[in-house]
Amino acid sequence: MKSLSGRFRYNRLASAFTILAILSTGILIGSVVAHKVHGQESQVNSSDATPLKIPAPRDLSTDFTKIAKEVSPAVVNINTQILPKQRRHGPHYMQPWSNPQQGPPDDGNGDDDQDQGPQGGLQDFFNRFFGMGPGGGGGAGQPDEGGGQERESLGSGFIVDSRGYIITNNHVVDKADRIFVRLASDPEGNQGRPAKVVGVDKATDIAVIKIQSDKPLPTVKMGNSDGAQVGDWVIAIGEPFGLAHTVTAGIISSKNRTVEPGTSGEFQHFLQTDAAINPGNSGGPLVDMAGEVIGVNTAIYTQSAGNEGIGFAMPSNTVIGVYNQLIGPEHKVIRGSIGISFQPNPPSAVARVYGFKSGVIISAVTPGQPAANAGLKAGDIITTIDGQSIKDGDELVNIISSHKPGETVDIGYLRNGQQMHAKVAIADRDKVMAAMNAAASGSGGEGGPGQQGGNVSPARLGITVQDLPQGAPAGLHGVLIQSVKPGSFADEIGVSNFEGGVIVSVNRHPVRNVQEFQTIVAGLHSGEDVVLEIVDPQHPNAGNEYLGGTLP
């Protein structure tokens, strides 16, 4: 008799053979059936089948369709060329990349003439994404160091005058040796018509170019960007990656968006949209549902060198003002200035300590310029211009810059809590900025550790300071910031970024040495606003910084 384990093995083996036999039979039957069905295909009578017909085209036009048809004829392709380096007699010129099959150039270099945007998401803003980097919309990239072939870039623009005047971005045509414009009606492969630059404005990245035509050209209708609202439908038209007449749609995501810090972004307050904007769209129109241009597509925020739904367009109201000056006799934008600098967004504690609800606190006044000549000083708070209340720095810049050099404005300001007024002449902003840069770059003497005074580290603030060293700039008073304790109050309000700077006042009280600083700090209480006025000792004329917060 077989053992129990032997029977189990035998039964398992028999079962396995049975399963294989069944599977084999099923496969054979399926094969025969399939073969039989296949063989009968030609024998099916299909005489009762009705042939399909291509229907007559239906007009499914939407507002998007109508707008695209109306606006597209006035949207142009802009092709620029920059000659090889060996054929130039001048400085190093950056070149664009426009052919998606070529791959991007090495974008490790930038243009010294351009301010770099925030790193990471903005892709160096104009210079890299729409200028110097992958997909460049014009005026950038790495030239052929071997002096080989000419380099080209592609961008967009739109005709605003039937005589051939075209608006685009400055970075599309910047440093180009040759500019060609291809109209929507021109055949594919046509290089286009030669164009000349009428004028450019780097502050808004707007350029006006012109082509010749023996007949009137189609134009766009300009709209009022102030009427645009968040959530409104918009259409972007251009030539992304050189793909002609591309139309994308989205909405207005935000208004008055500033993405460049400091003076480089003073005139760049964008409409933000999620309409797809890609390399080559730069300079093309952003159109509302009335078919009117409310913006010039300029840049995108991206971490992938492609569209991620955050695009920026210069508002049409700004563009119209710039255009009207560029087509004028001087072909340039002239803006007014009074020669001051200010902190764009000071902490709310600064307004409370200095006693104002709205206005702009002056950081520096450039010697010899209108504000200084009128008696304004650092620490004064501008509250009105010609009787109009000033809310913030953007409003101040917009009002002053709109005035022509030679005009005079009445400026209302606070000094030590007292309301005062001054008549201030307006000067040319370009000339004032040159003077301000010269004043800010002046060295203020030697820094480094001092040999006098003792260190103090007030626990309430978390700052270690010392008296000013020998060789400090004449007229500068205060205490030198040696170190800031991590996680302290001073660290929280940003003093860590100003180590080596000089604290010249605390809560408007002047500081001349460590003893005065220690006395003032000892009198501070929890829940009290604290504002430190800080100066860079190496560039004392560059402007004061106001840091503040509420003491825990």
Closest among 307, 216, 260 to 118, alpha carbons compared? 260
Are 165 and 327 contacting, i.e. CB atoms less than 8 angstroms apart? yes
Query: Which residue type occupies 271?
Result: L
Query: Which residue type occupies 531?
Result: V
Active site residue 282: yes
Q: What contacts 499, CB < 8 A, 6 or more positions away?
A: 481, 482, 483, 484
Cα–Cα distance measured from residue 44 to residue 275, given in angstroms and rounded to the nearest whole number: 53
Selecting among 107, 111, 174, 205, the annotated active-site residue is 205
Are 252 and 230 contacting, i.e. CB atoms less than 8 angstroms apart? yes
Active site residue 205: yes
User: Which two three-digit tokens encode residue 142?
Assistant: 């790495």
Closest among 85, 316, 319 to 200, alpha carbons compared? 319
Backbone angles phi, psi at 5, to 5 degrees: -65, -35
User: Which two three-digit tokens encode residue 302?
Assistant: 């991206």
Cα–Cα distance measured from residue 96 to residue 103, given in angstroms and rounded to the nearest whole number: 11
Residue listed under structure tokens 């051939």: 164
Instruction: Tell me which DSSP letter residue 132 carries.
Output: I
Characterize the bridge pairing of strands 292-300 and 221-222: parallel
3-state secondary structure 261-312: CHHHHCCCCEEEECCCCCCCCCCCEEEECCCEEEEEEEEECCCCCCCCCCEE
Are 113 and 94 contacting, i.e. CB atoms less than 8 angstroms apart? no
Query: Which residue type occupies 120?
Result: G
Selecting among 107, 153, 156, 171, the annotated active-site residue is 171
Rounded-to-5 percentages of helix, strand, coil across the chain = 25, 30, 50
Selecting among 72, 153, 253, 282, the annotated active-site residue is 282
In the chain the first and final C-alpha atoms are separated, in Å, by 93
Cα–Cα distance measured from residue 498 to residue 479, given in angstroms and rounded to the nearest whole number: 12
State the DSSP H helix or E strand holding residue 532, giving kind and residue range, or none if neither.
Answer: strand 529-535
Active site residue 171: yes
Q: Which residues are catalytic?
A: 171, 205, 282
